[in-house]
Structure 1
Amino acid sequence: MDAETRNGPLAGYRVLEMGSTIAGPFCGRLLADFGAEVIKVEPAEGDAVRLAGKRFKGKSLYAASIFRNKTLISVDLRRPRGQEVIKRLVPHCDIVVENFRPGGLEKWGLGYSDLARIKPDIIMVRISGYGQSGPYSPRPGYGVICEAVSGLRHLTGDPDRPPARVAIALTDYITGVYAAFGAILALRTASPTTLAYSVANRMGSALANSVPNNLYPTRDGRYIHIQAAQNPVFKRLAAAMGMPELLEDERFATALGRQQHPQETDGIVERWTSSHALAEIESKLKTAEVPAAGINTLEDIFRDPHFRARGMLVEAPDGELGTVTLAGPVPKLSATPAQIRRSGGSIGQDTRRVLTGLAGYAETDLKQLEAQGIVYCDPKS
């Protein structure tokens, strides 16, 4: 085990990650952040996410984040000798993470039953669009498709408009969190774990029975979310807007009255926010102790000292760029905090070390595998 992985609540566990894109790799990243040694397998051309996100000096900063703290090897899973490499690694691992379509690994002789014959107590975390069973299980599925099937798209947006897409791969990240949670439960109980959740009806971005509690435009083209549904808070909002007389109007004086007149209430707040700049509104509402926040852009987040003070933005060493700024790990544990030991590196940077060490390949055999295109070793490694 690499000495730098010894700290954290998952220190001592080794994970073999055969996931791609987001859900599987995010699960692996969470486990790696908290001390597990995660060996990520990717093809010679690299995981597809290496082409995603903003680039700096030719490197994907997204890949630098989602591959951080991982040992990176390159193996062709579709070829028999590549499958043999995986089978030689499995006895040394506690968990396997994969997010292929159901049946994909079985086709290559790497399904759960195949790996359990090699290591009976192996834990296999399987992520797919529709699960491992049921009539839809063979279908291909990505996070954006699951947004539609799960009803999340139905819940998002305004009722009089088409369902809105979530701006990030939210379902992939949620799935990754549940997958990591399931892996930890399995470690604790040594038994299979199945997780599921349901989604309620779509109600739009505004919350019913909570008025005002919405997103409002500002004079300078920004947006601010204001939550002032409780009577004492609305009283402070009315004063901040210079409209204390609202409390004398039965439509707005009580929470029930505002619930019965949501459009009128929101209209008053929107007219006020639309006539002021975001910074001015935030200042007034901060003074009045009204819960509110402008909608941050990435540039706002990087400028805001609070995010760094909370450890939500941290500098991490990067073999190519020197240092990069990454999202800090969560949750924040006081006794055994997560660490970012390094950002995601290059394709195949650890192939030689892992295969000649953990898998026991002789250097001559490794060179043969490399010549046949079964594995890829970064020439700089």
Structure 2
Amino acid sequence: MSEPTRQGPLAGIKVLELGTLIAGPFCSRMLAEFGAEVIKVESPDGGDPIRQWRVLKDGTSLWWSVQSRNKKSITLNLKDERAQDIARRLALDADIVIENYRPGVLEKWGLGYEDLRRINPAAIMVRLSGYGQTGPMRDQPGFGAIGESMGGLRYVSGHPDRPPVRIGISIGDSVAALHGVIGAMMALRHRDVTGGRWNGRQGAECVAGQGQMVDVALYEAVFNMMESLVPEYDHAGVVRERTGGALPGIVPSNTYTTGDGENIVIAGNGDAIFRRLMLAIGREDMAADPQLARNDGRVARTEEIDGAIQDWCARHDIDSALAALKAADVPVGKIYSVRDMMNDPQFLARGMFEQHAFADGTPVRMPAITPKLSATPGRTEWLGPKLGEHNEQILRALGYDDEGIAALRKEKVI
């Protein structure tokens, strides 16, 4: 495969991914989408498990096509010293190394942060783990679901009379990945203002900027999203509980059911918006009620307000309800399924789907890249690669010849 010329704000940045499944690979995916050269290290024995997760095409996950787009795949059995040496040589020229092994595993293989610093002092290592690199729980396995639970998200998700529920995606891993991207970009900025990248082949003549470790714990990334949870408890003894579709303390903001059984979200919690909402549903009395003019007054009468809105919604189908509330300039929206998204004029106008094709020519639509940069937008240059697709390309760049590559393959190093 001839490699396209990389474009984007991260063109020229080299990333080594030592991760599997979700958090680490999603972090590097975003860097790859905006131009970074990402080399993904996979086990020769099946590769990243996400290759076989959820819906498959020809034995490979459709998720893989998105999660690993624009990445290069090299297989390395990192339990073998020769594979570890190859990884170190790749790290020598890397700007960013991303990993999500359990703490201590890379150190055992001679690939930990201190090992990296010795060969590439300007490198940035993003480490994503369940509980971080320190603390009494550092060695315990931690998946996104556990991070969501410990970080507070699960406790407040669901209805008050039922057990907590999970969100239908791996949100804990994804939130941690985004924290990893943010940390990497801040560390990259610091490195560049303190001297720039390291070129190990220049040895002592190279003035390197200061690299650093970005330590992301899944539970802490989730915890970072929990708004006013801590001061509310510390100052007022308030424990935020599950409230179903409502937003506690901000009224009205809830999910309501229309007469045809559809669900819509109405956010009428601004003072002026609340008045427009009440007028739109024929409750002039509530619109004129001075107690309801401000949020603190509305909170005391939450059930009454929600009841009035629900009564109105039950008398209308979803299309007429949406039309009436939009005409009144009230924030309202249907709860979308993927079917709704893929036929929605707003999604289509914003170009939120990309048309691609699998190797056999079968067309497939993929989510477009966000955020949208006006001058240097991200782009999909190829879908997730085959396992070890770039072995020869990468190894030849390191100086291996046909005989050396064949030996590595025969001895199951790659």
More displaced 10-residue stretch of structure 1: 210-219 or 159-168: 159-168
Q: CA RMSD in A?
A: 2.1
Partners of 1:110 and 1:253 in 2: CA distance: 61
State the 1:317 CA deviation: 4.8
* Alpha-carbon contact 1:156-1:165 (below 8 Å) kept: yes
The aligned residue for residue 201 of structure 2 is none
Partners of 2:294 and 2:172 in 1: CA distance: 38
Encode CA deviations 1:170-193: one digit per residue, 9 max, x unaligned.
111111111111112111112425
Encode CA deviations 1:135-181: one digit per residue, 9 max, x unaligned.
11111001000011111112222344322212211111111111111
Q: Of the candidates 363, 368, 393, which is equivalent to residue 328 of structure 1?
A: 368
Q: Of the candidates 185, 190, 202, which is equivalent to residue 240 of structure 2?
A: 202
* Alpha-carbon contact 2:17-2:38 (below 8 Å) kept: yes
The aligned residue for residue 378 of structure 1 is none
Q: Does 1:270 align with 2:310?
A: yes
**The residue matched to 1:127 in structure 2 has which SS?**
strand
Encode CA deviations 1:47-93: one digit per residue, 9 max, x unaligned.
11112232345432111001001111121112222212212222222
The aligned residue for residue 252 of structure 2 is 212
The aligned residue for residue 133 of structure 2 is 132
The aligned residue for residue 246 of structure 1 is 286
Q: Does 1:281 align with 2:321?
A: yes
More displaced 10-residue stretch of structure 1: 120-129 or 226-235: 226-235
* Alpha-carbon contact 1:318-1:344 (below 8 Å) kept: no
More displaced 10-residue stretch of structure 1: 222-231 or 189-198: 189-198
* Alpha-carbon contact 2:106-2:112 (below 8 Å) kept: yes
Q: Does 1:305 align with 2:345?
A: yes
More displaced 10-residue stretch of structure 1: 160-169 or 189-198: 189-198
Residues 42 and 264 of structure 1: is their aligned pair in 2 closer, same or farther, counting only changes over 3 Å? same
* Alpha-carbon contact 2:25-2:67 (below 8 Å) kept: yes
Residues 234 and 120 of structure 1: is their aligned pair in 2 closer, same or farther, counting only changes over 3 Å? closer
Aligned residues: 373
State the 1:254 CA deviation: 5.5
State the 1:306 CA deviation: 1.3
The aligned residue for residue 4 of structure 1 is 4
Gaps of 5+ in 2: 192-210, 230-238
Partners of 2:139 and 2:378 in 1: CA distance: 36
**The residue matched to 1:126 in structure 2 has which SS?**
strand
* Alpha-carbon contact 2:54-2:63 (below 8 Å) kept: yes
Residues 321 and 245 of structure 1: is their aligned pair in 2 closer, same or farther, counting only changes over 3 Å? farther
* Alpha-carbon contact 2:75-2:387 (below 8 Å) kept: yes
**The residue matched to 2:4 in structure 1 has which SS?**
helix
**The residue matched to 1:124 in structure 2 has which SS?**
strand
Partners of 2:336 and 2:269 in 1: CA distance: 22
Please give the TM-score of this superposition, normalised by the length of structure 1. 0.91
Partners of 1:80 and 1:137 in 2: CA distance: 26
Equivalences for 1:1-381 in 2 at 5 Å? 4-44=4-44, 45-190=46-191, 191-192=211-212, 193=214, 198=224, 199=226, 200=229, 201-203=239-241, 204=243, 205-247=245-287, 252=292, 255-357=295-397, 359-375=398-414
State the 1:252 CA deviation: 5.0
Please give the TM-score of this superposition, normalised by the length of structure 2. 0.84
Partners of 2:359 and 2:94 in 1: CA distance: 26
Partners of 1:323 and 1:95 in 2: CA distance: 33
Residues 127 and 255 of structure 1: is their aligned pair in 2 closer, same or farther, counting only changes over 3 Å? closer
State the 1:275 CA deviation: 3.3
Q: Which amino acid aligns with 1:275?
A: R
State the 1:221 CA deviation: 2.9
* Alpha-carbon contact 1:101-1:128 (below 8 Å) kept: yes
Q: Which amino acid aligns with 2:24?
A: G
State the 1:101 CA deviation: 0.4
More displaced 10-residue stretch of structure 1: 58-67 or 77-86: 77-86
The aligned residue for residue 199 of structure 2 is none
* Alpha-carbon contact 2:96-2:126 (below 8 Å) kept: yes
